[in-house]
């Protein structure tokens, strides 16, 4: 796997992968042209665990209709401003078994999500599961 970043101008940098995908990173405090690199790390975490949870629930034949994973992170007050705590919130929708959802989230966190496993070496990553459409079956 190869990735690169090229400075475009001002505080804008274009990230590119060997597969040709690009992301514009904006290091300006307003982040008007793209995410900051640290925001991109949180987006990668949310996406990585989402892929796992959807895949696991589909394999368990759960009637998943929606999943939104939100990451809220605290950062150190001085440089380097690393994450000091990350809270993941899984908002899950569908006709689901609570146990199946809890197992899928735990498997992602503890076994499959490589982004989470890397981040956990440096920061506590906690999670909660919410059901916006009401509580699922047991």
**Does some domain include residue 136?**
no
Q: Are residues 82 and 69 in the same domain?
A: yes
Tell me how far CA of residue 122 lies from CA of 45, 113, 118, in angstroms: 14, 15, 8
The confidence score (pLDDT) of residue 88 equals 98
**Does some domain include residue 76?**
yes
Q: Are residues 102 and 46 in the same domain?
A: yes
Band of residue 138 on the pLDDT scale cut at 50, 70, 90: confident
Residue 47 CB neighbours (<10 A): 13
Q: Are residues 102 and 45 in the same domain?
A: yes
What is the pTM for the complete model shown? 0.93
Domain that residue 41 falls in? 37-130
Domain containing 22 — which CATH number? 2.20.25
Q: What are phi and psi of 96, to 5 degrees?
A: -130, 160
Domain count, the chain: 2
Q: Which of 78-82, 113-117, 124-128, 134-138 has the lowest mean pLDDT?
A: 134-138
Helix, strand, coil % over all residues of the chain, rounded to 5:
30, 40, 30
pLDDT tens digits for range 18-77: 999 999 999 998 889 999 999 999 999 999 999 999 999 999 999 999 999 999 999 999
**Does some domain include residue 100?**
yes
pLDDT tens digits for range 62-83: 999 999 999 999 999 999 999 9
């Amino acid at each position: 796997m190869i990735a690169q970043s090229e400075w475009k101008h001002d505080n804008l940098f274009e990230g590119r992968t060997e597969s040709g995908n690009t992301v514009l990173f904006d290091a300006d405090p307003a982040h008007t042209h793209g995410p900051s690199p640290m925001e991109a790390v949180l987006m990668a975490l949310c996406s990585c665990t989402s892929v796992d949870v959807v895949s696991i629930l589909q394999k368990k034949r759960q009637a998943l209709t929606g999943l939104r994973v939100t990451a809220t992170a605290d950062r150190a007050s001085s440089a380097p401003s690393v994450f000091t705590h990350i809270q993941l919130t899984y908002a899950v929708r569908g006709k689901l078994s609570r146990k199946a959802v809890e197992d899928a989230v735990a498997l992602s966190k503890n076994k499959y999500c490589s982004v989470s496993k890397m981040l956990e070496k440096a920061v506590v990553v906690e999670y909660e599961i919410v059901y916006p459409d009401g509580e699922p079956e047991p």
